[in-house]
Structure 1
Amino acid sequence: MSSSDKFNIFSFTGKMKILHLSWFAFFITFVVWFNFAPLLQSVKESLGLTTAEIKTLLILNVAFTIPARVLIGMLTDKYGPRLIYSLLLAICSIPCFVFALSDSFVQAAIARFALGLIGAGFVIGIRLVSEWFPHNELGTAEGIYGGWGNFGSAAAAFTLPTVAVMFGGEDGWRYAMGITGLMSLAFSFVFYRNVTDTPKGATYYKPKNGGAMEVTSKGDFYLLLFMKTPMYGALALLAWKLSPSGIGMFSDAAVYGIYAVLAGIYLFDASQVWKVNKHVFKEEVPEIHRYQFKQVAVLNVLYFATFGSELAVVSMLPLFFSETFELTPVVAGMVASAYAFMNLMSRPGGGWLSDKFGRKPTLLILTAGLALGYFVMGQVDSAWPVWLAVVAAMGCSFFVQSGEGAVFAAVPLIKRRMTGQIAGMTGAYGNVGAVTYLTILSLVDYSTFFYIIAGTAVLGFVTLLFMEEPSGQIAEVNDDGSITMIDVAKA
């Protein structure tokens, strides 16, 4: 094994260069995506917004990410990660600049909704990293990509308020946000110039049909249609939150219009699935080309519980700590950031454990820990010492983020040419989870909220029992019709 083939985190050549450029691209997407939360108060005062309008902007920030992750996954499989990541970073700098320059709620709302697109960047790197790393290093590499990139939200929270103060005045937040847009635009060129989709001489496998995910049996066809419904349900839930029953941004008529559009898009989506997969009703797919969609479905449910709960908990934890322990907002924010800090080690840790001990056993242990962690969080009240509550949050966070790492250690081992689409759907389920949990949080108290997440983790554990450990090889067809076998586990 040459030195360029070794897994050396301090190297910046070969596959390690691709890994570093990928996690940094993802890091920037998260800085841009979450540049609003730490500057929320300044934006509110500067634009004269109400609390309801601020909450609306927070909802809009994550809404578009659900369909965007699916769409970007498809585009990545078709056109390659290098082009799609570079375009995403460049295009998303535009709504970032628009938000920084906005002087009304409507402008800010449109820009924030469009910025949900940048949350889809994660999916692109999953496919890129899977092209460069062998199966026995894939979990660790994807974990570093996800964990270090995810840290962008914490980095934004720590640095942007300081940057805003440096520029001073009531427009300080505009400069801070503008700088994140410039970073995104500049790095799009760096990424495009320095990345290739595959190592030299390797083939980049594309799906036969770009319109919808391929399945290889009748049962999987129905399961795919069923698994698509929660994504539309989450978007309908967001529309409901913006209706007069929620925060009243839209009229009832507008919300019913949104429901009708979502139903129409689902029917169109289902027709595309039929178009791509109707052949499975006429003839059996040869054994060598089959894959089990239930593997994808299980990972969707697990990512709903892991990343979904992380997004929800990160946004409510500062308030939880300040209300439970009567801390100042600054102290509560710093204490709560311990949860996000765990990303740096936990997600790579989950991937590494997965490489070492197998995908399914690792996921079973981490999901059980996840359920236990949230059950303990549900017990936290003002009688607890603050330090113990922080330890409980960090312990829970370890299982959440290691679980995310372990999920995406398995995603690229299902069907290579569809990795972007599979990552897109699984990633979208994380956002579906966030929308669901945040809606639940607006209806119940904190301890019930944590118990409900623990309950969904138990449900995830049960679905995991149906998953099969990736084994053997994946067959992919080359342009000339010959077949290449790709290892997914130790022989």
Structure 2
Amino acid sequence: MSEQAGIKLWSFTGKMKTLHLSWMAFFITFVVWFNHAPLLAVIANSLGLSASEIKTLLILNVALTIPARVIIGMLTDRYGPKLTYTWVLALCSIPCFMFAAASNFEQAAIARFLLGFIGAGFVIGIRMVSEWFPANELGTAEGIYGGWGNFGSAAAAMSLPLIALMFGGEDGWRYAVGLSGLLSLIFSVIWYFNVTDTPKGSTYFKPKQTGAMEITSKGDFWLLLLMKIPMYGALSLLTWKLSPNGVNLFSEQSALIAYFALLLLFIYEVKQTYKVNGHVFEKPVAEIHQYKFKQVAVLNILYFATFGSELAVISMLPLFFAEVFSLDMVYAGMLASLYAFMNLMSRPGGGWISDKFGRKKTLLILTAGLALGYLTMSAIDSSWPLALAVIAAMACSFFVQAGEGAVFAAVPLIKRRLTGQIAGMTGAYGNVGAVVYLTVLSMVSYQQFFLVIAGTAVVGFITLLFMEEPKGSMTEVREDGTIELINVS
């Protein structure tokens, strides 16, 4: 597969160079995606935003990421990670500059909505890393990619307020946000000139058709359509939050148009799915080319509970600590950032444990830990010592992020040529989870919010019992018609 066996973290050649550049690209996308979060108070003051307008910006920031992850997954499989990441990093610097230059709420809202697209960058590196690492190292490599890249949100929280202060004045935040866009633009060039889609001599397998995910049986056709419904449900929920029933950014009429557009889009997707996969109703796909979509469905549900809860909890944890323990926001924010800090070790840890002890067993243990972790967090109140509450949050965070690492240790082992699309759908489910959990949070107490997440983790645990441990090899066909067997265990 490559000239060096094992994962040598301090190496910057061959597959390790690709891994390091991949997590750096992902890291930058997260810095840009969350560059507003640590500066919200200053931005609100500068643009004269109300509390509901600030909440709207937070919702808009994740809205586009759900469809974007699916689209970017398809583009990655079709055109390769090299080109796709180059364009995402370069083009998304534009709404970043737009946000930095915004002079009112409407301009800021449009820029934030468009910036949701950069949150899809994650999917591209999953396919890139899977091309360069063998199955027995893949969990660890994907974990490093995900964990170190994900740390971009924490890095933004720590560095951007300081950069804004260095520039000073009421426009300091604009320079800090603008610099993150410039970093994205510069790195798109570095990425393009330093990576290749596969190691020398390897084949980059592309889907036979684009427009919808390929499936290989009748049952999987219906399961795929069923798994699309929650994604449209989350987008409908976002529309509802932006309508007069929520923060009133949309008029009643605009909301109705958005609902109708989502319905038309769903009908179009069903049509495309049949166009690509209608042949399974006429004759069965040869067993050697089959894969089980239920594997994807299980991982979707687990990523809903893991990454979905992480995004939601990161958004509310500073406020939770501040309110429950009567802390000032700066101190509460620092304590809450420890939750995100765990990413550096937890996610690679989850991938490494999967490589060593098996994908399914690892996921079962981590999902059980996740449920218990959130159950514990639901019991936190002001009678707890603060240190114990922080330790409980960090322990819970370990299971959440190690679980994310374990999910993406399994994703690339299902069907190589569809890895981008599978990663896109699973990644989108993480955002669906975030939308659902944040909506729940706006309606219930903190205790009930944590209990709801624990409940969905239990559902995840039950669905996991249907997953099959990847073993043996998957089959892909080269352009010349010869068959390549790719080891998955």
Q: TM-score, normalised by structure 1?
A: 0.99
1:448 is matched with 448
Residue 350 in structure 1 maps to residue 361 in structure 2: no
2:29 and 2:83 map into 1 onto residues whose CA distance is 15
1:119 and 1:243 map into 2 onto residues whose CA distance is 24
2:476 and 2:425 map into 1 onto residues whose CA distance is 21
1:246 and 1:93 map into 2 onto residues whose CA distance is 30
Given that 1:4 and 1:13 are in contact with CA atoms closer than 8 Å, whether structure 2 keeps it comes out as: no
Residue 380 in structure 1 maps to residue 380 in structure 2: yes
1:243 is matched with 243
Amino acid of the structure 2 residue aligned with 1:482:
T
Amino acid of the structure 2 residue aligned with 1:41:
A
Give 1:49 shift: 0.9
2:18 and 2:273 map into 1 onto residues whose CA distance is 33
Q: Summarize the alignment of residues 328-367 of structure 1 with structure 2, pairs less than 5 Å apart.
A: 328-367=328-367
2:22 and 2:391 map into 1 onto residues whose CA distance is 31
Give 1:416 shift: 0.1
SS at 2:92 equivalent = helix
1:433 and 1:373 map into 2 onto residues whose CA distance is 17
Given that 2:2 and 2:132 are in contact with CA atoms closer than 8 Å, whether structure 1 keeps it comes out as: no
Give 1:20 shift: 0.2
Given that 2:30 and 2:152 are in contact with CA atoms closer than 8 Å, whether structure 1 keeps it comes out as: yes
2:87 is matched with 87
Residue by residue over 1:79-125, the C-alpha shift from the partner in whole angstroms, topping out at 9 and shown as x without a partner, is: 00000001100000000001000101111111100000000000000
Residue by residue over 1:264-315, the C-alpha shift from the partner in whole angstroms, topping out at 9 and shown as x without a partner, is: 0000011000000000000010000000000000000000000000000000
Residue by residue over 1:430-461, the C-alpha shift from the partner in whole angstroms, topping out at 9 and shown as x without a partner, is: 00000000000000000000000000000000
SS at 1:427 equivalent = helix
Give 1:7 shift: 1.5
1:427 and 1:216 map into 2 onto residues whose CA distance is 22
Given that 2:70 and 2:421 are in contact with CA atoms closer than 8 Å, whether structure 1 keeps it comes out as: yes
Given that 1:309 and 1:437 are in contact with CA atoms closer than 8 Å, whether structure 2 keeps it comes out as: yes
Given that 1:211 and 1:273 are in contact with CA atoms closer than 8 Å, whether structure 2 keeps it comes out as: yes
Given that 1:44 and 1:50 are in contact with CA atoms closer than 8 Å, whether structure 2 keeps it comes out as: yes
Runs (5+) with no aligned partner, structure 2: none
Give 1:21 shift: 0.1
SS at 1:115 equivalent = helix
SS at 2:349 equivalent = helix
Residue 100 in structure 1 maps to residue 119 in structure 2: no
1:7 and 1:40 map into 2 onto residues whose CA distance is 39
Amino acid of the structure 1 residue aligned with 2:480:
D
Give 1:6 shift: 3.4
Given that 1:19 and 1:141 are in contact with CA atoms closer than 8 Å, whether structure 2 keeps it comes out as: yes
Q: Summarize the alignment of residues 63-78 of structure 1 with structure 2, pairs less than 5 Å apart.
A: 63-78=63-78
Runs (5+) with no aligned partner, structure 1: none
Q: Summarize the alignment of residues 248-267 of structure 1 with structure 2, pairs less than 5 Å apart.
A: 248-267=248-267
1:112 is matched with 112
Residue 169 in structure 1 maps to residue 173 in structure 2: no
1:419 and 1:45 map into 2 onto residues whose CA distance is 44
1:432 is matched with 432
Specify whether residues 43 and 469 from structure 1 end up closer, same or farther in structure 2 by C-alpha distance, changes over 3 A only: same
Given that 1:71 and 1:424 are in contact with CA atoms closer than 8 Å, whether structure 2 keeps it comes out as: yes
SS at 1:476 equivalent = strand
Give 1:3 shift: 6.7
Give 1:229 shift: 0.6
SS at 1:474 equivalent = strand
Give 1:253 shift: 1.4
2:8 is matched with 8
Given that 1:96 and 1:115 are in contact with CA atoms closer than 8 Å, whether structure 2 keeps it comes out as: yes
Given that 1:320 and 1:446 are in contact with CA atoms closer than 8 Å, whether structure 2 keeps it comes out as: yes
1:41 is matched with 41
Residue by residue over 1:306-353, the C-alpha shift from the partner in whole angstroms, topping out at 9 and shown as x without a partner, is: 000000000000000000000010100000011000000000000000
1:451 and 1:20 map into 2 onto residues whose CA distance is 37
Given that 2:2 and 2:199 are in contact with CA atoms closer than 8 Å, whether structure 1 keeps it comes out as: no
Amino acid of the structure 2 residue aligned with 1:384:
W
Q: Summarize the alignment of residues 10-409 of structure 1 with structure 2, pairs less than 5 Å apart.
A: 10-409=10-409
Give 1:256 shift: 1.1
SS at 1:214 equivalent = coil
2:125 and 2:169 map into 1 onto residues whose CA distance is 38
Give 1:247 shift: 1.1
Given that 2:65 and 2:431 are in contact with CA atoms closer than 8 Å, whether structure 1 keeps it comes out as: yes
Give 1:4 shift: 3.1
Give 1:249 shift: 1.2
Given that 2:2 and 2:15 are in contact with CA atoms closer than 8 Å, whether structure 1 keeps it comes out as: no
Amino acid of the structure 1 residue aligned with 2:257:
G
Give 1:5 shift: 3.3
Equivalenced residue count is 489
SS at 1:462 equivalent = helix
User: Deviation above 6 Å: which 4+ runs of structure 1?
Assistant: none
1:187 and 1:100 map into 2 onto residues whose CA distance is 19
SS at 1:443 equivalent = coil
SS at 1:4 equivalent = coil
Range moving further from structure 2, 408-417 or 101-110 = 101-110
Amino acid of the structure 2 residue aligned with 1:410:
A
1:405 and 1:372 map into 2 onto residues whose CA distance is 19
1:102 and 1:52 map into 2 onto residues whose CA distance is 18
Give 1:467 shift: 0.3
Specify whether residues 6 and 357 from structure 1 end up closer, same or farther in structure 2 by C-alpha distance, changes over 3 A only: closer
Amino acid of the structure 1 residue aligned with 2:433:
G
2:249 and 2:116 map into 1 onto residues whose CA distance is 19
SS at 2:327 equivalent = coil
Give 1:254 shift: 1.1
Specify whether residues 3 and 203 from structure 1 end up closer, same or farther in structure 2 by C-alpha distance, changes over 3 A only: closer
**Once superposed, what is the RMSD of the aligned Cα atoms?**
0.8
SS at 2:90 equivalent = helix
Give 1:2 shift: 8.6
1:25 and 1:289 map into 2 onto residues whose CA distance is 33
2:76 and 2:385 map into 1 onto residues whose CA distance is 48
